[in-house]
């Protein structure tokens, strides 16, 4: 059995109750909306809520997959809420967001994987907040090209799909995902709409080697991925995949330097970075 590792000092983060957190909480509760910030137990949610921003999670809170790193529930899925896109548009307007991220649980039970719901959410935000930049963090839609095109046709500014880890660890960490399929999703974004920025995120400290990380960088650049986030994997519980290594801040800085050298336009690489943390900075917001 792998030892449950003690966190180093650079990963000890005290919860801070920021001044404006309750404003965001109140809007989310009023509109009955979910955020990945809370569902995935993100360490940055207090800071983000205080800045009146959040990563909205659509299509329910229960996932059809059971990735070994993730704190989102694998349970019976909920019925789609056709009014959810309009309520998210309202929340974005009330929070006066300049940049918003929309993600979802994976819904392999749906014919389109939830793509139409993503498109409707993008359209609702465009109507209610036409100047807000929109990023969608999508699942792989089981490789369905028509589902992805439904999302690109709605014209978000950024489409993100997380690789999460290196190819060699997929069977351990993402047994229901396929490395090559995720790369294909990122590559097809540019095929469908070259104006949409493509983005991916990975975790480190889950058992990968430096050489495998650099190969992943190359694979992402090969399919035209422009934005990249790199963060430390933190196991949600002892039942999840264990942390194998705590990566030093110096190594994160090295990965960032190498990624820029390989041609990424924007890279965020640090222990507490998550895929949507300060996401607007990639577009200068």
Domain tally for the chain? Answer: 1
Write the pLDDT tens digit of every residue in 158-171.
999 999 999 999 99
Q: Judge whether 4 lies within some domain.
A: no
Residue at 2 is within a domain: no
pLDDT, average across residues 24-36: 80
pLDDT band at 40 (very low <50, low <70, confident <90, very high): very low
DSSP type of residue 55: E
pLDDT value at residue 54: 66
Per-residue pLDDT reduced to its tens digit, 118-156:
999 999 999 999 999 999 999 999 999 999 999 999 999
pLDDT of residue 20: 65
Distance CA 248, CA 282 (A): 24
Predicted model pTM: 0.90
Which residue range is the domain that position 32 belongs to?
Answer: 9-283
**Bridge partner list, 136:** 102, 159
For residue 144, what pLDDT is reported?
97
Q: Is pLDDT of 44 > 80?
A: no
Tokens of 185: 């999703």
- What's residue 53's pLDDT? 62
User: Which CATH number is 15's domain given?
Assistant: 3.20.20.70
105 in a structural domain: yes
Helix, strand or coil, per DSSP, at residue 108: coil
Q: Is residue 104 part of a domain?
A: yes
Helix (H, G, I), strand (E, B) or coil at 63: strand
To the nearest 10 degrees (0 to 180), the angle between helices 145-153 and 179-192 is: 40
Task: Convert the pLDDT of each residue in 217-270 to its tens digit.
Answer: 999 999 999 999 999 998 777 778 889 999 999 999 999 999 999 999 999 999
- H or E element: which one contains 91? helix 84-95
Task: Give percent above pLDDT 90 in the chain.
Answer: 62
Res 143: pLDDT: 96
Q: Is residue 1 part of a domain?
A: no
Asked if 136 contacts 198 with a C-beta cutoff of 8 angstroms, the reply is no
């Amino acid at each position: 059995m792998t030892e449950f590792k003690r966190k180093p000092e650079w990963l000890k983060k005290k919860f801070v109750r920021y001044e404006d957190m309750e404003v965001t909480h109140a809007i989310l509760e009023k509109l009955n909306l979910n955020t990945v910030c809370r569902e995935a137990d993100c360490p940055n949610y207090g800071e983000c809520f205080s800045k009146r921003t959040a990563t909205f999670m659509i299509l329910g809170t229960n996932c059809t997959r059971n990735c070994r790193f993730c704190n989102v529930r694998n349970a019976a899925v909920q019925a789609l809420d056709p009014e959810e896109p309009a309520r998210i548009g309202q929340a974005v307007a009330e929070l006066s967001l300049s940049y918003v991220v929309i993600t979802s649980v994976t819904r392999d039970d749906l014919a389109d994987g939830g793509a139409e719901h993503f498109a409707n959410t993008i359209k609702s935000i465009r109507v209610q907040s036409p100047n807000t930049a929109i990023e969608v963090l999508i699942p792989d839609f089981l490789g369905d090209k028509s589902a992805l095109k439904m999302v690109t046709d709605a014209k978000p500014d950024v489409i993100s799909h997380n690789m999460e880890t290196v190819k060699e660890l997929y069977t351990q960490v993402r047994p229901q995902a396929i490395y090559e399929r995720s790369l294909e999703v990122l590559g097809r974004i540019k095929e469908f709409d070259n104006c949409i920025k493509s983005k991916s995120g990975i975790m480190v400290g889950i058992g990968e080697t430096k050489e495998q990380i650099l190969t992943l960088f190359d694979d992402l650049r090969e399919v035209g991925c422009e934005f990249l986030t790199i963060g430390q994997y933190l196991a949600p519980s002892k039942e999840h995949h264990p942390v194998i290594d705590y990566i030093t801040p110096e190594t994160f800085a090295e990965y960032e330097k190498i990624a820029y050298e390989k041609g990424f336009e924007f890279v965020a690489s640090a222990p507490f970075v998550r895929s949507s943390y300060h996401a607007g900075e990639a577009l200068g917001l």
